[in-house]
Structure 1
Amino acid sequence: MNRQAQAVVMLLFGGAILRASWTDVYLRYVKHGLRPFLIAAGLLLVAAAVMALRDELRDRPADPSERDDDGHRHGHSGPKLGWLLVLPALGLLMIAPPALGADTVARTGSMLNGTKEIAYSPLPPGDPAKLTLLEFGYRAVYDSGRTLRDRQIQLTGFIATGPDGQPMLARIILACCAADGVPIKIGLRGDVPRLPPDTWVQVQGRWVAHTAKDPVNESDIPYLEVDTWQRIRPPAEQYE
């Protein structure tokens, strides 16, 4: 691949990063706080590509038949297969892949696989208490549900298939980017929504003193007794 082709690929990748960063698409790859770094990286790639193209065009001989002192023409062309690198860049520009979902949940063990004893502070007054799936899981597993008793809890996540074949609630936790995504899984009882996997719902119910073992990594899956639920649109920031 010659320098001109390399610059074009770099320009496309920089443009794809900027396009994703200026919309909510970047949230399917990384956490919210990394947006400024993505914008900076995209601008840097675009600027480098433009300078490389400028230098390539400026240094190109006016007469393409010019020869060097040895009497042979010399070009900068390389393997044409290098142009295939354009395809993933074009794919990023034109196609936005979905966020990690039920498939990841089925293949990856829940993150509640440690042994901790943590005393959590009481939930704020007023029902329902709106918790993340991770906070509910920590309080249910590591604090034995002490602060969840006799409270109405509201959780938001997507539907996945549990180890018993029944629907459960899940969400992906990111440390940095989608490559390190790990699911948090909450089992459901009672008025369980019978919806396709990856459907987003908001459920309200009560903690129950029951857990199951995740067959993937033997971690604990706490349960919620669902009283009511409603289908919702996927949030812009789908990861916790």
Structure 2
Amino acid sequence: MNRQAQAAVLFLLGGALLHAGTTDLYLRYVKAALQPLLLASGAVLVVAALATAWYERRRARRGPDRHHHPEPRISWLLVLPLLALILIAPPALGSYSALRSGTALQKPYAYGALPAGDPVPLSVVDYASRAAYGHGRSLHGRAVRVTGFLALDRAGHPYLVRMALNCCAADAQPVKIALTGTLPPVLRPDAWLEVTGRFTPRLTHDPVNDGPVPYLEVTSAKPVPVPRDPYDETWNN
């Protein structure tokens, strides 16, 4: 790979990063808070590519370089991440990963006040932490609305799940809510549901890591489209 080819690959890779960072594509790889760093990385690669091309053009005008050595062929591996960004848009992690990983639920430092309204919109992480570690004290007498994807264990027990991110999709871990009450007659794994229900003190434990998995007593459920950001970033806030 000569310098001109390197510059072209760098330019395309930087452009691909900028494209991902200015669309929702980047949310399949990293959490939303990393968007500025992703855009900055893309811009740096584009500038480096343009600088390399400009330098090579100036050097070509001065004549051939007698001390030029060919670049190693392994440099063509730079094309692989470019092809991955251009050709592959990975789906968000779903029930297969969720059932093979233990819950990532952690005890929060404090609980904020619930907003007014009925039902109260909560994330999977927020409801699960209030139910498991707060013993549902802030949830008593309140209807809640939670959105996540459906997972069914080997016995057919349903869970509402959201994959929680610390940094990127590679470290995503599930947070699970066990469902009871009024459920749809047909339960399809990976289907996204908006569930309305109430707190129940019933609690189970994840068979993978023995972590707490609280229950939610469902009063109604309806299918919803996959959200713009399928991951939950509130677990470590």
Q: What amino acid is the match of 1:186?
A: I
The equivalent position to 2:227 in structure 1, one of 217, 223, 235, is 235
Q: TM-score, normalised by structure 2?
A: 0.85
1:13, CA displacement in angstroms? 1.8
Partner deviation per Cα, 1:102-125 (whole Å, 9 max, x = no partner): 2321222111266x7x77466344
Is 1:133 aligned with 2:124? Answer: yes
Q: What is aligned with 1:71? A: none
Q: Is the 8 A contact 2:27 2:229 kept in 1?
A: yes
Q: Is the 8 A contact 1:24 1:236 kept in 2?
A: yes
Change (3 A) 1:67 1:42: closer
Q: What is aligned with 1:10? A: 10
Is 1:108 aligned with 2:106? Answer: no
1:98, CA displacement in angstroms? 1.5
Gap regions ≥5 residues in structure 2: 233-237
Query: Which structure 1 residue ranges, 4+ long, deviate > 4 Å from structure 2?
Result: 118-122
Q: Is the 8 A contact 2:18 2:43 kept in 1?
A: yes
Gap regions ≥5 residues in structure 1: 69-73
Query: Percent identity between the aligned chains?
Result: 46
The equivalent position to 2:91 in structure 1, one of 90, 98, 105, is 98
Greater radius of gyration (CA): 1
Q: What amino acid is the match of 1:168?
A: Y
State the alpha-carbon separation in 2 of the partners of residues 237 and 227 from structure 1.
Answer: 26
Partner deviation per Cα, 1:158-194 (whole Å, 9 max, x = no partner): 1122464322110011222223322110111122343
Change (3 A) 1:232 1:31: same
Is 1:173 aligned with 2:143? Answer: no
The equivalent position to 2:76 in structure 1, one of 75, 80, 83, is 83
Is 1:32 aligned with 2:32? Answer: yes
Alignment RMSD (CA, Å): 2.5
Change (3 A) 1:76 1:2: farther
1:221, CA displacement in angstroms? 0.6
State the alpha-carbon separation in 1 of the partners of residues 74 and 227 from structure 2.
Answer: 40
Q: What amino acid is the match of 2:176?
A: K
Aligned pair count reads 231
Q: Is the 8 A contact 1:162 1:187 kept in 2?
A: no
